[in-house]
Amino acid sequence: MSRQAVLALLREREGDFVSGGEIGRRLGLSRAAVWKAVEGLRQDGYTVEARTGLGYRLEAAPDAMTEPEIRRFLEQTAVVGRRLICLESVDSTNLYARQLAMAGAADGTVVTADRQTAGRGRLGRDFQSPGGLGIYLTALLRPDLPPERLSPLTAMAGVGVCRAVERVCGLSPGLKWPNDPVLDGRKLCGILTELSLEGETGRVDHVALGIGVNVLQRPEDFGPEVREMATSLAQALGRPVSRPALAAELIRETDRLYAALRGGALEPYLAEYRRRCVNLGRTVRLLSPGGAAGETAEALDIDGDFGLVVRAADGGVRTVRSGEVSVRGMYGYTE
């Protein structure tokens, strides 16, 4: 597409003017085609200055979840992100990725969307996904591993999100068991992992690893049902954050954790999960999958499979798994 070729050339000479004649010669375009491409970039939110006798200069880029904007921050990865599909709107990036999987999409394909109309979280909950404010992406993975080896994936993704946020924003999120990155006691991100098995063999066909991060939301951008428990990076920092830059870092971290998962190198992730887990040492309320409050218990540790070790009121110690229960603080989302 001539528009993207012109953008790449302006980026190559960022800060300098490039004449329309030079752009045309290098890209094999007429002056009218160059002008049309520049106008298209402006419609996409790019600020392109034009001066008679000098040509065109790229001044600013939009905070857009598009492939050119994400790619400018994304270095070469081993598997995840080699193919990147960026959508303006979709019902669910997880659902779209699973449809791609059934059509034979490659291991490591990443789907992003500017907005989701039917975003989902764990246990069938809605995940609010307004346009222009968050990052909604899904990595389609095809690991040659037995299903039981994949149980740590969601927790490892939580660590990966925290690392990406720390690197891009300088903030250090905690982790609310089992898989919610949090800031100041409020939810920052949702992670949903969906596994598909081959019917006859029971082998893993694909995994859709979905990550949704609240980036630019103000308090009024959250619905009343989640406003008291949700936050965004912009709220925590008091300034905007580049969504494409953070999306690129999330893709890089997913590529790294995927390699660690396949290689069995889980210990660094387990150690960091324990360090970041905000529940340890606190009394928590165990919630059933339907959301009903159950018993209270003291959160003691994270076991080798990222289960939560708790001590019940009667003194008994056991491990609970994410498929069985969720936890909530006694006086708030994490506290």
Q: How confident is the model at residue 245 (pLDDT cuts 50, 70, 90)?
A: very high
Q: pLDDT value at position 131?
A: 85
For residues 60 and 46, is the Cβ–Cβ distance under 8 A?
yes
**Phi, psi at 239, each rounded to 5°:** -160, 160
Rounded Cα distance between 274 and 265, Å, is: 16
Peptide bond into 178 cis (omega under 30): yes
Rounded Cα distance between 241 and 239, Å, is: 7
Q: Which superfamily does CATH assign the domain made up of 67-276 to?
A: Bira Bifunctional Protein; Domain 2 (3.30.930.10)
Q: What is the pLDDT of residues 59-100, one digit of tens each?
A: 999 999 999 999 999 989 999 999 999 999 999 999 999 999
pTM listed for this prediction: 0.90
Q: Which amino acid is at 327?
A: V
DSSP-H helix ranges across the chain = 2-12, 20-27, 31-43, 67-71, 93-102, 153-169, 233-237, 243-263, 267-276
Q: pLDDT value at position 130?
A: 82
Rounded Cα distance between 297 and 317, Å, is: 9
Q: Where in the chain is the domain with CATH 2.30.30.100?
A: 283-329
- For the segment 307-325, the average pLDDT, to the nearest whole number, is 90
> Which residues are within 8 A (CB) of 102 and not within 5 positions of it... i.e. 6 or more apart?
none
Q: Quick one: which of 19, 208, 229, 219 has its CA closest to 105? A: 208
Q: What is the pLDDT of residues 96-153, one digit of tens each?
A: 999 999 999 999 999 999 999 987 665 556 677 788 999 999 999 999 999 999 999 9
Q: Where in the chain is the domain with CATH 1.10.10.10?
A: 2-60
Q: pLDDT value at position 202?
A: 86
Q: pLDDT value at position 91?
A: 92
Q: Over 90: is that where the pLDDT of 26 sits? A: yes
> Which residues are within 8 A (CB) of 314 and not within 5 positions of it... i.e. 6 or more apart?
none
Q: What is the pLDDT of residues 168-195, one digit of tens each?
A: 999 999 999 998 999 999 999 999 999 9
Q: Where in the chain is the domain with CATH 3.30.930.10?
A: 67-276
The number of CA neighbours under 13 Å toward the Cβ of 103 is 8
Q: Which amino acid is at 285?
A: R
CATH no. of 2-60: 1.10.10.10
Q: pLDDT value at position 15?
A: 87
Q: Over 90: is that where the pLDDT of 232 sits? A: yes
**Domain 283-329 falls in which CATH fold?**
SH3 type barrels. (2.30.30)
* pLDDT over 70, % of the chain: 96
Q: Quick one: which of 279, 329, 167 has its CA closest to 233? A: 167
Q: How confident is the model at residue 223 (pLDDT cuts 50, 70, 90)?
A: confident
Q: Which amino acid is at 140?
A: L
Q: Name which of 68-77, 114-123, 248-257, 279-288 the model is least confident about.
A: 114-123
